[in-house]
Amino acid sequence: MVRMAPKHLVLSSALLLAALPALANNGNNEEARNVAPSAAAPTAIVKCPGVTSIPFTSDAEQALPLRVVGSLTCGETVAILAGGEGYTSEIRTKDGQEGYVAQMYLAATENAPARQQKTQLSSAKPVNGVVRWSAGQPGCDEFISHGRHVESVTANGITVQVSVQDSGWKYRANVAVSNQSGERVDVLPGIVTLDELAPNMKTLYAVSPEKLEHTTTHQVLWTLVDAVPSPSAVANYSNADRLANRASEAPDYLSPHFVLTSSTHHVAFERTEPVDVQSIALKTSGLPSGQITAGVMWFERDNNAHELSMRVPVGNMVFDFPFSFEQKK
């Protein structure tokens, strides 16, 4: 039996310990080769149309009252944690804050994920530059969003969505435009029209947000009646049948925090924060391809109105939406 000198024993132990990590690594080489490095989160740049900063919230729906986490500055780069299907994206700032921001305020960078759609939307065909919504026709869809009946039309890569409510004081229209046309298009609220077709033929003039922000009533957000598609545009199918058998489902581009849907007046008075009418109004914009804009418009009201037609010019097309309220008895 050979005895090792103490100094040799210490040296041998040190060599063995040094070799253990290498041995372990050799034993797991195959496993290590199969593990892919984690991908960095995609990023986007914050854009601020007409404002200096954009708030982000703790909830994805951004329901009122807004639960604001912080604000984003123009040109700031944020990491995209989730998003692409709904109205908001989940983001993380450079200082580690996380929350949700409307996708309309995010400009894609080279490594940002492309928006995905579950189905390829068909396209309506403009007739003399007019695209009219009609149930079941190519490019036409309808759905319920936060209590609102929404009509949606896609033509030449542009999707316009509209819902109309009667507050008992003004008509309120919620409008969203998604531009996937490959070109920049103009969205001009000043030329959007709402016309009464029955029982009278007349124009219901738009009311500017500047006038509404000085009113003392909360009726700008009340909802007494939600408009539904006009009978002339839905053939013989009921609302339930049409909503249950959507041929081509469009994403919901309308912002849920733009509307407080209520069948009574009391909910409006329970608000804990005032509404900035200017901030939720539909803005004039040159909308780049791949971007979305959404907002609210208000119109004069006729107590007897039954059939309505709302026309939203976008680019070189006019999107025509037929709506109806139940006949007053």
> Do 82 and 187 share a structural domain?
no
Q: Are residues 189 and 304 in the same domain?
A: yes
User: What are the structure tokens assigned to 327, written together?
Assistant: 């006949």
In a shared domain, residues 48 and 189: no
Q: Which of 6-20, 100-114, 304-318 has the highest mean pLDDT?
A: 304-318
Matching residue, tokens 């995609």: 42
- Tell me the pLDDT tens digit for each residue of 199-219: 999 999 999 988 887 665 567
**Residue 120 has what pLDDT?**
52
**What's the pTM?**
0.64
Mean pLDDT of 53-57: 80
Can the peptide bond before residue 229 be classed as cis, meaning omega within 30 degrees of 0?
no
CATH at 49: 2.30.30.40
Phi, psi of 323 (to 5 degrees): -125, 160
Tokens of 60: 């994805």
Q: Examine the pLDDT at 294 and tell me if it is beyond 80.
A: yes
State the pLDDT at residue 66: 72
Query: Nearest CA to 147 among 163, 135, 160?
Result: 163
Domain containing residue 222: 130-324
- Strands (E) in 103-180, as ranges, are 106-108, 130-132, 140-145, 148-155, 158-166, 171-179
Q: Which two tokens stand for residue 62?
A: 């951004």
pLDDT value at position 124? 94
For residues 266-287, give the mean pLDDT.
69
**Residue 212 phi/psi, 5° resolution?**
-75, -30
**pLDDT greater than 70 at residue 132:** yes
* Residue of 268 and 77 predicted with greater confidence: 77
- Nearest alpha-carbon partner for 158 in 194, 187, 134: 187
| pLDDT tens by residue, 169-201 | 899 999 999 999 999 999 999 999 999 999 999
Give the count of domains, the chain.
2
Question: Is position 2 within any domain?
Answer: no
Query: Which pLDDT value is given to residue 256?
Result: 57
The letter for the amino acid at 76 is: E
More confident residue, 218 or 111: 218
Band (249; pLDDT cuts 50, 70, 90): confident
Identify the weakest region by mean pLDDT among 47-56, 134-143, 161-170.
47-56
Which helix or strand (DSSP H or E) is residue 68 part of?
Answer: strand 68-73
- In terms of domains, do 60 and 140 share one? no
More confidently predicted of 146 and 322: 322
What are residue 80's phi and psi, to 5 degrees?
-95, 115
**Cα 157 to chain centroid, rounded:** 17
Domain's final residue, options 108, 143, 162? 108
Q: How many Cα atoms within 13 Å fall on the side-chain side of residue 202? A: 12
- 64-75: average pLDDT: 77
Chain-centroid distance, C-alpha 25: 49
Q: How does the average pLDDT of the chain come out, rounded? A: 77
170 and 236 belong to one structural domain: yes
Q: Does 284 lie in the same domain as 172? A: yes
With respect to residue 62, please indicate whether it lies within any of the assigned structural domains: yes
More confident residue, 116 or 238: 238
My answer on whether 320 and 242 are in the same domain is yes
Residue 38 burial class via C-beta count within 10 angstroms: exposed 0-12, middle 13-18, buried 19 and up: exposed
Residue 9 has pLDDT above 90, yes or no: no
Instruction: Provide CB contacts within 8 A for 275, sequence distance 6+.
Output: 64, 220, 221
What is the predicted pLDDT for the residue at 267? 42
Of 224 and 17, the structure prediction assigns the larger pLDDT to: 224
